[in-house]
Amino acid sequence: MLLYAQSADVKLFPYDYRIDDLDNGLRLITVPTEYPDLVALYIVVQAGSRNEVEPGKSGFAHLFEHLMFRGSENYSKEQRDAVLKLAGAETNASTSPDRTVYFETFSKEDLDPVLKLEADRFQRLKYDESVFKTESLAVLGEYNKDSSDPSSKLSEAIAATAFQKHPYSHTTIGFLKDIQDMPNQYAYSLEFYRRFYRPEYVTILLVGDVTPGHALELTKKHFGDWKRGNYKPDIPQEPVQTNPRMISLDWPAPTLTNVVVAFHGPAYSDTDKDKAALDMLAQLAFGPTSELFNRLVRLEQKVNNLNSSFGNSLDPGLFQVSAQVKSPADLEYVRQQILDTFTRFTDEKMPQSKLEETRSRRRYGLALQMNSSAAIAGALAPYIALRRTPETLNKLFSLYQQITPEDLRAAAAKYFTEKNRTIATLEYKPR
């Protein structure tokens, strides 16, 4: 299959791109840009902590972010590093609930050897049990380090409280008991690789000084023989929450009091208005230009920081508002102010002018980020994981243009209900 999108002024994503699907299910997306000499390669694997559906097996998507740098059949770790050093490549990876992304930026002349290198680890990753144990213990060290951060423990707690069945109940790094047992799971790690590191789960994104024809030729050369898999995870659906939930954490070291108010919200969509409306509402109600932020952070100075998060997820996720409260005595007040703001947006329609300002900031904020080939690829990758096409960005921002004040109010009334709510707090309590 071959698709080609022409750039248009009305579209958020202004670049021409081409999509090529190989017979094995691998997708190649090529985005030529005007930035000379460099190419950004992002390999998006549609496997994250969401795919960890078996009890006792959380954390493996993140573990593979480590293992994939330890060598393959034809390249040891040292040989791999040498190839990338010669190419002047910057390389890294990241894992989230819905995806794992591996990325490099390098000179366009090195596209062939870099693709060859990547093809080897994606098709022929090689690590023995001792390497596996070393990396799994490194993950335990990472967990222990994160556990010293109150916000990490709070995130872990609210996920486990808000979700009862869906794998979103654990954070990307996994449950502690699973991480502790991970060194004993070498055989399962090989199975995880066989399941998800398959072409039908992978999209190669090439952005920069590259032509689609040349990119396709090299991709077929190095990835064309990769065999399609046959595994599909049975991801459980989260039951509808029927009662409000609360969790309180005591923290043994001095820290600011933290509070999080969360509601279950819809999955990512570039066609349904609910998610788009709540994206707008997050900025209007709780962003840096909101009335609540101005009052709690700037005027009253009761809160050190106020944040909202409602990421784009394949399955329904959480709309969260978090605050760091300077004085424990103000916890109830701050929590009530957050709840009152949710209620306000449920009952009232916002002025059209404020909606237009928010819409404009969101559109141009993302557009201004795309100021290099690597930045373009980085902005695209999360959306590629969701829909495997850059066109979803254009569809999403077209949907944002259609949102009305009534859409905001209707979405708020639908999702911001007491029975759909989870509240988490963390306070300093000396032992």
Q: pLDDT, tens digit, for every residue of 358-376?
A: 999 998 888 888 999 999 9
**Residues facing 105 on adjacent strands:** 40, 90
Query: Residues 327, 204: one domain?
Result: no
DSSP-based three-state secondary structure for 261: strand
Whether residue 251 lies inside any domain: the answer is: yes
Q: What is the pLDDT of residue 85?
A: 94
> Quick check: 386 and 98 in contact, CB under 8 A?
yes
Q: pLDDT, tens digit, for every residue of 192-229?
A: 999 999 999 999 999 999 999 999 999 999 999 999 99
CATH number, residue 317: 3.30.830.10
Query: pLDDT-derived band of residue 6, with 50, 70 and 90 as boundaries?
Result: very low
Q: What is the pLDDT of residue 8?
A: 41
Query: CA 265, 267, 268 angle in degrees (round to 5)?
Result: 125
Whether residue 262 lies inside any domain: the answer is: yes
Q: What is the pLDDT of residue 1?
A: 54
Hey, what are 306's tokens? 């106020």
Whether residue 235 lies inside any domain: the answer is: no
Whether residue 231 lies inside any domain: the answer is: no
Overall average pLDDT of the 175-191 stretch: 98
Query: Residues 298, 184: one domain?
Result: no
Nearest to 44 by CA among 63, 21, 28: 28
Q: What is the pLDDT of residue 2?
A: 55
Whether residue 229 lies inside any domain: the answer is: no
Q: pLDDT, tens digit, for every residue of 276-302?
A: 999 999 999 999 999 999 999 999 999
Task: Check whether 32 has a pLDDT greater than 90.
Answer: yes
Whether residue 233 lies inside any domain: the answer is: no
Q: pLDDT, tens digit, for every residue of 393-402?
A: 999 999 999 9
| Interacting residues of 69 by C-beta distance below 8 A, sequence separation 6+ | 77, 80, 93
Residue with more model confidence, 364 or 47: 47
What is the domain extent for residue 182? 2-223
**In the listed set 163, 189, 223, which residue is the last one of a domain according to the structure?**
223
State residue 62 phi and psi, 5-degree precision.
-65, -40
Domains held by the chain: number = 2
Q: What is the pLDDT of residue 364?
A: 86
Query: Residues 332, 189: one domain?
Result: no
Q: pLDDT, tens digit, for every residue of 240-270?
A: 999 999 999 999 999 999 999 999 999 999 9
- What percent of the chain has pLDDT above 90? 94
d(CA 291, CA 306): 12
Whether residue 63 lies inside any domain: the answer is: yes
Query: Residues 173, 249: one domain?
Result: no
> Quick check: 179 and 173 in contact, CB under 8 A?
yes
Query: Residues 164, 256: one domain?
Result: no
Query: Residues 212, 109: one domain?
Result: yes
Whether residue 228 lies inside any domain: the answer is: no
Handedness of CA 131, 133, 137, 139 (dihedral sign): positive
